[in-house]
Structure 1
């Protein structure tokens, strides 16, 4: 027997409506469950909002589960934005969806939602299961959007746009425009075992994936997500909270890590570990930032994450000699900062990304094999090497200061 319904049933990762009848409450012995972030992207300004516009946004899940929910953000808007229709489905190819996978999302039972300026909106849970490693497609329609738009500028992923409301359509025909940003969507969560957690990577352009291969999910957090899926640990979700050009201390390319920590990391459900890989933009900007300034910033980040009950892993700042803003003074700051990250005991664990990337014959430079050509950003191989160097057990550690030296990533 063949046909669309049979083929659909064979597709791994399609959102399926649960059909198993519920047992009486007294007979149930289900384990505790909770929500965990399976995808995230830091919110920022992405230009002017466009009215009568649909977006078809392609994102990649990390941990599987059911009761999928999305979060829409108007964090940088100066007026309310209405989403007239929102759907979630599974990518088939390009803007086309797997037939039968596209399903309407509601908000408090309503088909549309208006999000005030500076706020977010969480959808109702969607019945059925979403697999790990799924190309999830969220389609949303903004009938009368105006003013600044919120989203994530550098997606390294092709998404699609169209005039009018085409969110319910599964075919690709209306989606004639391609976009390289994610608009309004900043998180996807699923419900899974209460023992399952997530790691949120707080970073800059290297974490954001600049110079990795577009549409292939080769940012270092993507490679880390693949490792976690194959491992036996309880940390399985990954939220990529990198922003290109971001700094620890100062706003500019997005709000600083200190100013966005709550929204982009601590607000996501299930986050057990905060992975901090930032600092090179503070160092190379030549704004007078000293190692002491940056160290104080790392301490504040760690204290706030610990106060929220999170574990914190710190990554050393990679080499960047050959980049236009490198000079010996900046290099001296980098070396002092990295000595602090490695040896201070401030972090619960350390990932020595500098050691991974540096050229053993010229340690102020990135290894040529990992260099995309600008002497700062790793290529796909470098991204994978970073992820492979992370000690997975370090992501499982309990939150709070540790006695003695930090655990090195293995």
Structure 2
């Protein structure tokens, strides 16, 4: 069987041989589905869907009719048969997407020539999502490599009311007026945004032994104080470690929301209230990495250690009932942040003692020990401090990822 041919949409004249080779390799790799599907070794191999990217949905302003979005996301696990999930979780009316494409980002808003392909929903080019709903695309044949900058381009003719998406992406995406989703050129995509709109998950089909971990967290997991556009959140560093490691867990979904709490809604729905949509609904998830609690503690709402522990236990119960494991991470130090006080520190220490010693988590990662200063354990080590005494910098993010026991993510 020969591979399908996808003609480039613009001239390649004037490009260097090296760039032509890189572009060709991307296109062949991404769209060699026909060859792979015809290989006898893969035909009988059990396969399933695994999440390769995720971002928690919240309200992100108002929808705008006749606007296009070119959303740049970084894959973790590679696989075939790309699918995306669009969300209208916080909308108050239906929203229609009449044109949705996926391609490989080359630079900025420009795509690798020949890589941009239409996504369909139930065989149709368009999809209307009811208020509060989601829509999963049909599989797109061909392979999508790990660590790829995927560009999902979508257009809505009628978006209005509250828009759903992820506010703090730490990644530049692009906007256009009108429908330019099929265009691989960056010419019509001059406006930028730091948020992801309407897209909350990407999955691929991988070997049935392949699994994923979901990081359920707040702004530290969301990546605040890491460098934008370079994928330096701690789950990004973890994804890079997993790609190099001898482990079946390869997928990573970052479900952090800045300001999020375990117990109370506010900056996004609470961890308890969004657990099903942001974690358990994703395919191939083997383990949940729970790193939340500092916002409950520092908010001065008189949340006690026992109340927060009860919240952790409810998450543990529900995740275990779904047949998955939970890794608990200790709450990091934050003295120097404006909301720190001795009472909050006492609660933090009590909560961390539970996480470390209760035996109720399937494994524990001690972020507190990794990040704290040996001279004042209530503060982040200055070398890891992003500057506000709460959020780690790039070095701190990498240290966090390096502290994770990868074998603990491979839930039996």
| 1:298-345: CA deviation from partner (whole Å, max 9, x where unpaired) | 000000000001100000000000000000000000000000000001
Q: Please list every run of 5 or more consecutive structure 2 residues that lacks an aligned counterpart in the other structure.
A: 1-15
CA distance in 2, matches of 1:126, 1:205: 33
CA distance in 2, matches of 1:94, 1:6: 19
**Corresponding residue for 1:216?**
230
CA distance in 2, matches of 1:93, 1:24: 33
- TM normalised by structure 2 equals 0.94
Secondary structure in 2 matching 1:273: strand
Deviation at 1:19, TM superposition (A): 3.0
CA distance in 2, matches of 1:363, 1:214: 28
CA 1:299/1:21 → structure 2, altered by over 3 Å: closer, same or farther? closer
CA distance in 2, matches of 1:193, 1:170: 31
Secondary structure in 1 matching 2:370: helix
Contact 2:324 2:411 in 1 (8 A): no
**Corresponding residue for 1:322?**
336
**Alignment partner of 1:348 is 2:362:** yes
- TM normalised by structure 1 equals 0.94
Deviation at 1:346, TM superposition (A): 1.1
Q: How many residues align?
A: 397
Runs of 4+ in 1 over 6 A off after TM superposition: 1-5
**Alignment partner of 1:268 is 2:282:** yes
CA distance in 2, matches of 1:29, 1:15: 19
CA distance in 1, matches of 2:27, 2:189: 25
CA distance in 2, matches of 1:3, 1:367: 43
CA 1:195/1:24 → structure 2, altered by over 3 Å: closer, same or farther? closer
1:163 alignment partner, one of 177, 186, 201: 177
**Corresponding residue for 1:10?**
25
Contact 1:200 1:271 in 2 (8 A): yes
**Corresponding residue for 1:197?**
211
Secondary structure in 1 matching 2:122: coil
| 1:361-387: CA deviation from partner (whole Å, max 9, x where unpaired) | 100000000001100000000000000
The within-5 A match list for 1:117-132 is: 117-132=131-146
**Alignment partner of 1:141 is 2:159:** no
**Alignment partner of 1:172 is 2:186:** yes
CA 1:23/1:316 → structure 2, altered by over 3 Å: closer, same or farther? closer
Contact 1:14 1:101 in 2 (8 A): no
CA distance in 1, matches of 2:21, 2:228: 32
CA distance in 1, matches of 2:37, 2:248: 27
CA distance in 2, matches of 1:283, 1:227: 31
**Corresponding residue for 1:88?**
102
CA 1:295/1:393 → structure 2, altered by over 3 Å: closer, same or farther? same
**Corresponding residue for 2:324?**
310
CA distance in 1, matches of 2:227, 2:18: 35
Contact 1:53 1:142 in 2 (8 A): yes
CA distance in 2, matches of 1:3, 1:226: 25
CA distance in 1, matches of 2:150, 2:77: 12
Q: Please list every run of 5 or more consecutive structure 1 residues that lacks an aligned counterpart in the other structure.
A: 399-410
**Corresponding residue for 1:337?**
351
The within-5 A match list for 1:9-408 is: 9-11=24-26, 14-20=29-35, 30-398=44-412
CA 1:193/1:326 → structure 2, altered by over 3 Å: closer, same or farther? same
Contact 1:13 1:134 in 2 (8 A): no
**Corresponding residue for 1:402?**
none
Deviation at 1:17, TM superposition (A): 3.8
Q: Compute the RMSD of aligned alpha carbons.
A: 1.8
Secondary structure in 2 matching 1:276: strand
Secondary structure in 1 matching 2:73: strand
Secondary structure in 1 matching 2:377: strand
